[in-house]
Amino acid sequence: MGSIIQNQKKTEEDSLAKLAKQIIETETQLTKIKENKDRIIQDFSIIKEVLQGQNQCNNSIQENHNSFVVEEIIDGGNDSIITIEEFEEQLRYHLSNNAINPQFATKIINIISTQKAILVKDIRIGLSIVEATNNAKYIIQQVEPDWLHFKDFWDNGLGEIWNSAHNSPDKFHFLLLEDINMSALECYCRPLLDILTGVRKKIPYGQTPYPNNLKIIATYAPFEEPKIGLPIYRNTFDNWGAIGFRFDINGQTELLSKPESKILTVDFLNNRNIDEFEITNILNDIKTELNSIF
C-alpha cells in the first residue's frame, strides 16, 4: 500500500516538474516576444507594404491586360464638305507618306466604298486610309496562334472597336488585322465571316448588326515558301475586297505635297453615288485580285 502511494506521489511530482518547465519556457518566449515586439511590428509593416504593392501591381496589370491599343485621328480644323476628289488627294498624300504607290488611291476608294472587309498586301495601305479620313478610331492588332474561338477574337480588339462604332456612328472605325492566318480564320472568325456573307444578322456577344462605320482591313502571312501562316482558302473571302496583290505597290521616293486637311464623313462615303456598271467593274477587279492570291 505504501509503495502505491509513493508511486502516485512520484508521478504527480514529475507532472508538476514538467508543468513548471513548460511555464518557464512559455515565460521565456513571452519575454523574447516582448523584447522583440517593435522589430516584429516593423517586420509585419514591411511585409504588408510589399503585399499591397504586389496587389496594386497585379491590379494594374489586370486593368491594362489588353493586347491592343485604341488610337484616334481627328482633324477638326476644317468642317467644310469634302469632295471625292479632295479625299482622293488626301489619300494619295498619305499613301505616298507611307511609301505606297499613290496611283492606287482611286482603286482603294472604290473598294472601301463598297466593302466592309478588305484584304491588303501591306498594312500601310490600311493605315493610309485611316489617316486620310481625319475622322477615325482604329486598332492595329496582330492575330495570335492561340486564337481558337470567336471569343479570342472578340476579346482582343473586335469587341472594343465594334461597340465603339455603334456608340459613335459619325466616326469611322477601323480594325487593322495583321497576319490573319496565324490561326485558323474559319474558327476564330466564323461569326464575322457569316455576317459578311449574310448568314447571320447579329454578332455574338455584341448582339448587334454590323455597324456601317466599321471597316476591317487585314493582311495575311505567307502560307507558301516561307511557310509562316496557315493556308487560306478562296471561299473564305466571299464578300471581301482585295487591294495590292497584282501590281508593285511600292511608292515613289518623292513625297507628295500635303493638301488642306478635310474630314471624310461616314454619310458621305456610304451615300456615294456609284452606278451599277461601276460596281460591276469594282467587283470584277476584286475577283481578279483574289484570284491572283490563290
3-state secondary structure at position 215: strand
Please spell the DSSP secondary structure of 21-35, one letter per residue.
Answer: HHHHHHHHHHHHHHH
What was the pLDDT predicted at 228? Answer: 87
Distance CA 157, CA 174 (A): 10
In tens digits, the chain (294 residues) has pLDDT values of: 566 666 666 666 666 676 676 677 666 666 665 666 565 556 555 555 555 555 555 554 445 578 889 999 887 656 667 899 999 999 999 999 999 999 999 999 999 999 999 999 999 999 999 999 999 999 999 999 999 999 999 999 999 999 999 999 999 999 999 999 999 999 999 999 999 999 999 999 999 999 999 999 999 998 877 888 899 999 999 899 999 998 888 877 678 888 988 999 999 999 988 989 999 999 999 999 999 988
CATH topology of domain 69-291: Rossmann fold (3.40.50)
What was the pLDDT predicted at 47? Answer: 52
C-alpha cell belonging to residue 112: 472601301
Cα angle value 37/38/40 (rounded, 5°): 65
Strand ranges across the sheet with 70-74 = 70-74, 135-142, 172-178, 214-218, 117-120, 240-243
Distance CA 138, CA 69 (A): 8
Distance CA 263, CA 133 (A): 6
What was the pLDDT predicted at 81? Answer: 77
Residue 141 near residue 177 (C-beta atoms within 8 A): yes
Residue 52: C-alpha distances to residues 57, 59, 98 (Å): 9, 10, 46
What was the pLDDT predicted at 205? Answer: 94
What was the pLDDT predicted at 37? Answer: 59
Cα angle value 113/119/121 (rounded, 5°): 115
Q: What is the pTM of this model?
A: 0.77
Rg (CA), the chain: 34
Which amino acid, 206?
Answer: G
Residue 205 near residue 166 (C-beta atoms within 8 A): no
CB proximity list for 279: less than 8 A, separation 6 or greater: 114
C-alpha cell belonging to residue 146: 492561340
Distance CA 220, CA 161 (A): 20
CB proximity list for 110: less than 8 A, separation 6 or greater: 274, 278, 282, 285
Distance of CA 262 to the CA centre of its chain: 28
- DSSP bridge pairs for 172: 136
- Tell the residue number behind the cell numbers 447579329, with chain if given: 202
| Pairing label, strands 135-142, 214-218 | unpaired
Distance CA 235, CA 226 (A): 23
Distance CA 140, CA 152 (A): 16
